[in-house]
Structure 1
């Protein structure tokens, strides 16, 4: 019994399992900026397909990395105020390097550099860290958690019939299109259609009033006939 034993072993030891999650996370992150014309370009950027158990175990690992990149964004924005656009090694850059402005830039950049080093130690991939710091961090700057979703697929994996699922980032173009299609706007009513509708309603009201008048007339006539028959019987 595995009471109070957290996590899934997935048929691997600890080091193998960590390396697998690192490789899967880098593949998912780098698919965001993948070249569409490349030979092995992903069909949908920001999405990979794996088994359900691996996707559920990979999700917290990826979201912790995105949280580190998101926490580094305020420090990067603050450091930009003291930065310079001069080319490295130029005379202007050297003068900025020796000024007090560089000291302020270094102090503001230190926390962001710490987050960057933590991401490199987790992923061991510079390209994936660059995508986190430049793309995913600014995207989720106002979102506190829940950066990915796991969607189960109906098709099973060939060979062992394993349950498949896809893990993808939320808040992309597909979500915006889905939100736009769900929002129902008020229908535009043409003035001619509104006039026709009003005339139809008036005609229906006149017909109903005529029908009620005819019903009242027939009721009165029936009552008079009944009264005449009763007088005859009395005679």
Structure 2
């Protein structure tokens, strides 16, 4: 049996599970809500995350994006369109295909600037999007550069809905959520956070309070690049011990 036929059989088995069908619907709704809200903000012309200072790395990016005119609106239209398409059963795959490059960009951006607001949610949204693409593998496979069997033996079988709860699958889902929660909290020792006060809190109780204050000042008051501020922080000495 070829790998492609095995994938067809595995996909068909998953599609016949009632719990996985509910999970697919949950993913569609959750992703749609995430993009609809953010997209509408762009369409009406408001700046996304308006409470974030323009001197913050993410705030600076969002401010510049807000000043790109109809490009900013265009992104919002795509986000809302992707959200609506995800909610319509016949257009889910198209919505997922539009959604993926946008959320992948947000994911990379979040980690590049260490944005605390989406370090946890953006990777989960990418994985959720990938799940939907895999869920519709039976349609997506025809645009992939692989030669498929002329007769799909797996799809020829009659559909039987199973109510068996996929324990291992959902255990993997929970483990994935916990893993990225841990990653978001522990991946970076130093983060700019969303405000000057929150930034300074991460250095309380350490021997790097002076260097930390300078780092936060570099980000939130001087608006310098993250890499530059990190370089200055790493080169700064530890606090002098009290005598």
* TM-score, normalization by structure 1: 0.28
Q: Which structure's CA Rg is the greater one?
A: 1
* TM-score, normalization by structure 2: 0.28
Q: Which structure has greater strand proportion?
A: 1
